Structure 1
Amino acid sequence: MDIQQSAKDVGQPQTAVGQAGVFRDLLPIAMWRIDSEGRISQWSLAAQELFGHTAEEVLGRSATPLLVPVANWELADELTRRVLSGEAVVGTLPVRHRDGHLVTMEMWICPTADPQGRTGLMGIAAETSAVLRMRDSLAALEGLFTQSPIGLAMLGPDLRYVRVNEALARMNGVPAAQHIGRRVSEVVPGLNTMALETVMRQVLARGEPVVDFRGLGRTGADPRMERVWSCSFSPLLGGGGRRLGVIASLIDITREERAQLQATRGRQRLALLAEAGTRIGTTLDLRQTAEEVVQVLVPRVADSADVHLLEEVLDPDEATASAHGMVRRLAVAFADPAAPAEDLAVGMTHQVPRASAYEQVMVEGRPMRLTRADIPRLVPGPENERLRSYLRTLGCARMVPLVARGTVLGIVMVTRSRRREPFDDQDNLLIDELAARAALGIDNARMYSAQRRAALTLQRSLANTALPTVPGLELAGRYLPASDQEVGGDWFDVIALPGDRTALVIGDVMGHGVHAAAVMGQLRTTVRTLARHDIPPVELLRSLDAAVADVGENEMATCVYAVHDPADGSCLVARAGHPPPAVAGAGGEVAFLDGPSGTPLGVGRRDFQTERVPLPPGAVLVLYTDGLIEARDRNLDQGMLQLARALRHRGRPLSRVCDRVLARLLPRGAQDDVAILLARPLHPATRHEPPD
């Protein structure tokens, strides 16, 4: 550089230095020399750039006419005399550019020896506008670094800190001076420093800024709390676009991120509650409901969920139900493959430990937060050591009682591993709400199961399906409930009458459950009582209609009452809103009674009529309820057509005919209660026909 050359010329020691990047890029410094005769004897490259004259054009020429405006010649002569007398002069002066315009310069002019040893002068100058820009930039930079609440840092091309402000020092919990010369990973190792440095290298390589990159982790300022920063990086560019380093700015957005995270979690919790409303309690099955609970909880809310119910809730009549605090695991889910599955098997029972947190939750009916130290004590005894060892690896747990209608039914326990954050208040509220919904679903299933057991017991006691032996008729009958969970009011009966006659009855009480079964029992008893008084079919149905009305104004039932007389081989049939009976002839033809159907029992119109139906030997009278022919995938007409086809396969014992009909019409089980009664006059030719 020409500035080094000037130092050599004036006898100053030469120092080996690198590129003067600041002078060259940010503040070019012009230097020239004038000998004792006022002629230019040295001209720097910076002077050439600033004033437009090359060294060949100015060396040996008089300086004042070339560089000084005419109006300043007198001032130039005065300054020259002062300098030649040994004074150094500093000031702001205009210099004429080669193209004629003036360049205002900040100058330092001092005496120096020319090559002949006589006194000349040396001028050093920088363009005033550049000086002002640098001054303002430095002031702005200084103000930014000292006053900005945003964390700021300058890093060199080796990504080591060159300067940081106090805001960043406070964020990092490290004094500003201890940053200088160190890498990010050395100052704040708790951050995602590899990702941060990768981004800064990309900024250096591409020369393009990166905005709002997220820094995550813990610093010395608050090592217990993970924080989030919005980081922006810009390349620090020199002259010619040379990349000198990176400018980094950081804003702590932990609060905003947490607020957004809480809002997101809130939406997720609401969505989960909405989903739970559609998934929990979809059936009236205790075990299915418990399974639905754990499926909702794991893994979105917890890493494991365990549903225990008291034995007295599951099997109130069993001997184990009387044991205090005996519980059974009804459902479990765990995301950790290391969990001891054999120790967490569904169906396992155990006694609730006395004076334990488990017992406290069940007695008080309030949830409890469990610490890591509390969890192993839930499973005492040497046989549970493996399970206790696993439980010690968990991070947190919450035990929630299943309470419905003031009764504690059992407990749900949920846990999280140490890899996840502990349950917070919102998590606890969500878990408690899900447990409350689960308890209601389980209690509904429990009450339904109890009601169903009562209905089945009542129906078995009232609707004995055992058929009597009567003169001249072969009989077969079946009753199928809609499902294992539902029982209704369908029934059939066979009653012996005077004169070897037989009453055949089938009926259907609307509804399901204990009430329908009880009404059915009343009607069956009424029919048997009236039939034994040999009351004609129409009168019997009218009396039955009054009996239904006495039960309640909203009660309704249908019925068929038929009387078979072997003397003339016919049946006298009366209907009360019931589907028409079918008659399957010995030749394979099938016909449905087309007489008046009558009005249902309980309506009050009592519009009943009789129809006499021939029933020769080999023919089969088929009485049934609408559950046999009506289903979601077919209407009544289609069902009757399928029944007619199924009845053509006969000529065998009626029990087999009955089973074949049910198999053909109900291949996937009954959708409603079904009762069917078949009667065939005895005939020696068909009585012992071998089965096919």
Structure 2
Amino acid sequence: MIEADDSGADERLRRIEAVTDSALSRLDVEDLLDELLARVCALLGVDTASILLLDQHAQQLVATAAKGLEEEVPQGFRIALGRGLAGRVAQEKRPVVLDRVTPAEVVNPILHDKGIRSMLGVPMLAGSELVGVLHVGTLARRRFGADDIQLLQLVADRASLASQARLGTIDRTAALALQRSLLPTRLPEAPGVDMAARYVPGHHTGVGGDWYDVFTLPSGWLGIVVGDVSGHGLPAAVVMGRLRSALRAYALECDDPADALTRLDRKIQHFEAGKLATVLYALVSPDRTRLRVSLAGHLPPMLARTGQPTDTMSLPVDLPLGTGRPRPRRSIAVDFPPGALLVCYTDGLVERRGELIDIGLERLRAAVRPGPAEAACATVMAALGVEQPVDDVALLALRRHPPAG
């Protein structure tokens, strides 16, 4: 008896090691789920195994990976919580055993077509939160025991970690797609000026709340925007996208940057309560001789002119957007001479931990020289060393073409 017990314990340990093999951690998430299902089929002696992940918004389980039921995945089969075996497991967050499968207990027609006779399902949990359901099935009648349930739950726990990693990858991919859709892939061509820009995220997801934008208005004026939403990552990027779109709409209705920013302030206070943003909005006249600039808590741009030192533009700085303290906003008209270079940026370019911002501003001022916008951006980025920023960085340079000859 003792030898039999030892043999059973050794076998159980071998089965557990098979699904916790460290080699699994080196697989891609999709391959890991497939390998886990293949191993559980072999170890439990079952004919099918499936993973269904929870769609939070729909409150449905979605077939994501399968062995023996591969057609279930491309069909994207969905099950509502509470329906069928998987729905019960999800709703109750506990294992469910069906020694005898009946049409009333399963809702997926593929299971009937396969002739599944017995099933076992366990929840996939992250803490107390449901991630999905793992279930197995056999073509012959079978009674699943406590050891079967324990082993399958171990696999489900491993699959939960892999699924969370997969969802994290999907979220990062979606976040990057969002950021790229909001930042211009190519700045518009506008007569009389050349432009260049840079964006470097300060968050590991590759997205953030800083942005730049350039657009031509029906009046012929050229709109220039650089902004910074408080926070980091996807939440800041989502708010940034809303503000960017709203400001474009207000720009079509307002010929005064201060008026457009006043409307944008009302928008953020009502729809994005608790968020703050700094924004520079400038309009360049159709003949490119003048700028009209309004600053909502944003750092003033720098202007480099031929034969003169680079200066931080002397402009009034109004309150950031979202403070909840409505004050009149101001627009200032500034000459934009031929050959002049306008450099707009967010604070991530010049701020460093443990260093006064004035030092970063002076570093930027020393790097800005009149010349083509693309060369200016390259020089600034190299001089200020933003290969590994701790905050998002947006940089936009615009140069008025010098006189011919």
Does the aligned pair in 1 maintain the 2:212–2:395 contact within 8 Å?
Answer: yes
- Cα distance, 1:571 vs. partner? 0.7
- Cα distance, 1:552 vs. partner? 2.7
TM-score, scaled relative to structure 1: 0.38
The answer to whether the aligner puts 1:524 opposite 2:244 as a matched pair is yes
Does the aligned pair in 1 maintain the 2:203–2:232 contact within 8 Å?
Answer: no
Q: Which of 31, 41, 48 is equivalent to 1:354?
A: 41
Does the aligned pair in 1 maintain the 2:276–2:323 contact within 8 Å?
Answer: yes
Q: Which of 342, 355, 361 is equivalent to 1:634?
A: 355
- Cα distance, 1:621 vs. partner? 0.7
- Cα distance, 1:499 vs. partner? 4.5
SS of 2:189's equivalent in the other structure is coil
Residues 1:674 and 1:568: Cα distance change in structure 2 (over 3 Å): closer
Does the aligned pair in 1 maintain the 2:221–2:285 contact within 8 Å?
Answer: yes
Does the aligned pair in 1 maintain the 2:203–2:233 contact within 8 Å?
Answer: no
- Cα distance, 1:489 vs. partner? 1.6
Does the aligned pair in 1 maintain the 2:212–2:227 contact within 8 Å?
Answer: yes
> What are the residue-to-residue correspondences of 1:272-671 with 2, within 5 Å?
306=22, 308-309=24-25, 314=29, 325-326=34-35, 351-352=38-39, 354-356=41-43, 404=126, 405-407=129-131, 446-567=166-287, 569-587=289-307, 589-607=309-327, 608-648=329-369, 650-651=370-371, 653-671=372-390
Alpha-carbon distance in structure 2 between the residues aligned to 1:464 and 1:523: 15
Could you report, residue by residue, the CA deviation over 1:158-194 in whole angstroms, capped at 9, with x for unpaired residues? xxxxxxxxxxxxxxxxxxxxxxxxxxxxxxxxxxxxx
- Cα distance, 1:610 vs. partner? 1.7
Alpha-carbon distance in structure 2 between the residues aligned to 1:642 and 1:305: 53
Residues 1:685 and 1:549: Cα distance change in structure 2 (over 3 Å): same
> What are the residue-to-residue correspondences of 1:253-264 with 2, within 5 Å?
none
Alpha-carbon distance in structure 1 between the residues aligned to 2:186 and 2:288: 27
- Cα distance, 1:567 vs. partner? 3.6
> Aligned partner of 2:391: which letter?
D
- Cα distance, 1:568 vs. partner? 6.9
Alpha-carbon distance in structure 2 between the residues aligned to 1:563 and 1:501: 6
> Aligned partner of 2:332: which letter?
E
> Aligned partner of 2:42: which letter?
A
Q: Larger Cα Rg: Structure 1 or Structure 2?
A: 1
- Residue 672 of structure 1 corresponds to 391
Does the aligned pair in 2 maintain the 1:409–1:439 contact within 8 Å?
Answer: no
> Aligned partner of 2:379: which letter?
R
- Cα distance, 1:449 vs. partner? 3.2
Could you report, residue by residue, the CA deviation over 1:505-537 in whole angstroms, capped at 9, with x for unpaired residues? 111111223332221111111111121224311
Does the aligned pair in 1 maintain the 2:256–2:331 contact within 8 Å?
Answer: no
Residues 1:357 and 1:634: Cα distance change in structure 2 (over 3 Å): farther
- Cα distance, 1:677 vs. partner? 0.8
Count of paired positions? 292
Could you report, residue by residue, the CA deviation over 1:545-580 in whole angstroms, capped at 9, with x for unpaired residues? 011112232111110110112547121110101111
SS of 2:311's equivalent in the other structure is strand
Could you report, residue by residue, the CA deviation over 1:108-157 in whole angstroms, capped at 9, with x for unpaired residues? xxxxxxxxxxxxxxxxxxxxxxxxxxxxxxxxxxxxxxxxxxxxxxxxxx
> What are the residue-to-residue correspondences of 1:169-248 with 2, within 5 Å?
none
CA RMSD of superposed structures (Å) = 3.6
Does the aligned pair in 2 maintain the 1:560–1:578 contact within 8 Å?
Answer: yes
Percent of pairs identical after alignment?
A: 36
Alpha-carbon distance in structure 2 between the residues aligned to 1:442 and 1:352: 15
Q: Which blocks of at least 5 consecutive residues in structure 1 are unaligned?
A: 1-303, 328-349, 365-400, 411-431, 687-692
Could you report, residue by residue, the CA deviation over 1:338-363 in whole angstroms, capped at 9, with x for unpaired residues? xxxxxxxxxxxx95363316999x98
- Residue 141 of structure 2 corresponds to none
SS of 1:475's equivalent in the other structure is strand
- Residue 67 of structure 1 corresponds to none
SS of 1:508's equivalent in the other structure is strand
Does the aligned pair in 1 maintain the 2:175–2:205 contact within 8 Å?
Answer: no
Does the aligned pair in 1 maintain the 2:196–2:396 contact within 8 Å?
Answer: yes
Alpha-carbon distance in structure 1 between the residues aligned to 2:360 and 2:304: 16
Alpha-carbon distance in structure 1 between the residues aligned to 2:194 and 2:377: 12
Does the aligned pair in 2 maintain the 1:309–1:409 contact within 8 Å?
Answer: no
- Cα distance, 1:634 vs. partner? 2.9
> Aligned partner of 1:458: which letter?
L
Alpha-carbon distance in structure 2 between the residues aligned to 1:634 and 1:409: 52
> Aligned partner of 2:35: which letter?
M
Residues 1:667 and 1:493: Cα distance change in structure 2 (over 3 Å): closer
Alpha-carbon distance in structure 2 between the residues aligned to 1:554 and 1:640: 29
Could you report, residue by residue, the CA deviation over 1:616-648 in whole angstroms, capped at 9, with x for unpaired residues? 111111111111111225332111111111113
SS of 1:491's equivalent in the other structure is strand
SS of 1:352's equivalent in the other structure is helix
SS of 1:488's equivalent in the other structure is coil
Does the aligned pair in 2 maintain the 1:559–1:575 contact within 8 Å?
Answer: yes
Q: Which blocks of at least 5 consecutive residues in structure 2 are unaligned?
A: 1-19, 52-122, 135-152
Does the aligned pair in 1 maintain the 2:345–2:396 contact within 8 Å?
Answer: yes
Alpha-carbon distance in structure 2 between the residues aligned to 1:594 and 1:684: 26
- Cα distance, 1:485 vs. partner? 2.4
SS of 1:511's equivalent in the other structure is coil
- Cα distance, 1:599 vs. partner? 0.7
SS of 2:303's equivalent in the other structure is strand
> Aligned partner of 1:655: which letter?
E
- Cα distance, 1:447 vs. partner? 4.5
- Cα distance, 1:667 vs. partner? 4.5
